[in-house]
Amino acid sequence: MEFLMDPSIWVGLLTLVVLEIVLGIDNLVFIAILADKLPPKQRDKARIIGLSLALIMRLGLLSLISWMVKLTTPLFSIAQFSFSGRDLILLLGGIFLLFKATTELHERLEGQESHGGHNRGYASFWSVVAQIVVLDAVFSLDAVITAVGMVNNLAVMMTAVVIAMGVMLLASKSLTRFVNNHPTVVVLCLSFLLMIGLSLIAEGFGFHIPKGYLYAAIGFSILIELFNQIARRNFLKSQSNRPLRERTAEAIQRLMGGKRQNQDENHAEESSQRASETFAEEERHMISGVLTLASRSLRSIMTPRTEISWVDSERSPAEIRLQLLDTPHSLFPICRHSLDDVIGVVRAKDLLVALENGENIVAFAEKTPPIVVPETMDVINLLAVLRRARGRLVVVGNEFGVIQGLVTPLDVLEAIAGEFPDEDETPDLIVDGDGWIAKGGTDLHLLQQLLDTDDLVSPTADYASLAGFLLAQSGQMPEAGEIISLPPLTFEIIDVSEYRIDRVRITKAKMNEWDEGE
């Protein structure tokens, strides 16, 4: 009992336990990396066997203290270097550690490691155990020599080793899981093993490197990695707050060569080149159109009020017949005096037959009343309405009952695949020399795709056309000839009517030209 009452025994035991745990961490990290090469069911078994062998080996070496002391006796000399048994073990262990750490780093940095799934090639269980035994011998030798140098009591040394290995065994599973779930931590640990391997080789040649230097470097690296993990966790947390649909759409657009706001021009060109080899240009535009459909407002795809062709029921049958024959549309809203008083929506051919038969226009139109939707409806919900409309157009109105536009299935298709102009229409965007001529009503989503830019559409903006965009940038109605520069795009106003921008010439400077201008 006097043995247990000695304070120096307890101080020595506590100090030695801490040192043994610290000296065993590198062994534990390497066991975690090697165990990851085994099937999931065998990893815990390999980890327990590895640590148990380390414990047995350290206890066995401690029981041979007299032999351990002789290991420091020089066996032979080469030039100015003399080598003992301990030096040879350290040299071989350091070389083995360098070899394993280098090959593991190469696999991870070159992307040669298999990533999960049923096709992953696992290592042999006993080959992994054999590698663990070799490393245990090296690390155990270092730990035992430290214990012999600190405490003279064999029982204290063995107790400290058992306690330290017990703590490591309890912490090994969580440490192994953490290391394997964080690839950057694995690379960091392998870098530590490289450093430890070099220190073992230096020790073998007689160059003593204070352990404090190694642990200080390791501690600083762990601190930096901790900051990196916190930053990554916060980034993932902020990303999780974004809608899953938005994140999925962005990922697919990057795959197809789309450029993110924080992506440089060279990266964007490489990504676009790779995408063009996989997807045709029309395919990329259509996929992009589908992915952005839910974020688009109804105003961005509808035919605006000023472009609607409608039939006034108060006009004579001859005038109505002439209007139907001169206009290439197949569907017409029938109204009284004003577009805001819609009676119904009819097909042109059916209306012509009704006129030939002398039917009342109002009564005929009332058989097919209009389907009116609010302008706040999103495009995804509009699809269900268009299905119920059975080929008829849908009228868009605002909260005051004023008709704002109309939508047909063709408008949705154009939002996905681009323009399909009627016979009496010209395309919204045509090539003009080194630029483009665009109508003021050109849809911003379509314009953004065709110009390959990300700076036109804003999710918080209340405009949907090029004219609305330019009015928001200018702050007032621009005059013909006025130039609005929004690098790398330049917008020159060509035609302006009393209330709207009619035509705009767009030019796009190359990135290097803009850099020179800056």
Q: 3-class SS at 304?
A: strand
**pLDDT attached to residue 315:** 92
Mean of pLDDT values over 144-148: 60
pLDDT > 90: percent of the chain:
16
C-alpha–C-alpha distance, residues 84 and 236, integer Å:
53
C-alpha–C-alpha distance, residues 258 and 273, integer Å:
11
Are 138 and 89 in contact by the 8 Å Cβ rule? The answer is yes
pLDDT at 207 over 50: yes
Q: 3-class SS at 412?
A: helix
**pLDDT attached to residue 373:** 93
**pLDDT attached to residue 256:** 60
What mean pLDDT is reported for the chain?
Answer: 77
Q: Summarize pLDDT for 28-61 with one digit per residue, the tens.
A: 777 777 777 788 788 778 778 877 877 787 777 7
Residue 419: what are its φ and ψ, rounded to 5°? -75, 145
C-alpha–C-alpha distance, residues 204 and 193, integer Å:
16
**pLDDT attached to residue 261:** 46
**pLDDT attached to residue 83:** 84
CA 219 to chain centre: 30
**pLDDT attached to residue 77:** 82
pLDDT at 244 over 80: no
Q: Summarize pLDDT for 498-508 with one digit per residue, the tens.
A: 778 889 999 98
DSSP 47-79: HHHHHHHHHHHHHHHHTTHHHHHHTTSEEEEET
Q: Summarize pLDDT for 303-353 with one digit per residue, the tens.
A: 889 889 999 999 999 999 999 998 888 899 999 989 999 999 999 999 999
pLDDT at 433 over 50: yes
Contacts of 407 (CB under 8 A, 6+ apart): 298, 301, 302, 303, 373, 382, 386, 393, 394, 396
**pLDDT attached to residue 491:** 92
The more confidently predicted of residues 309 and 256 is: 309
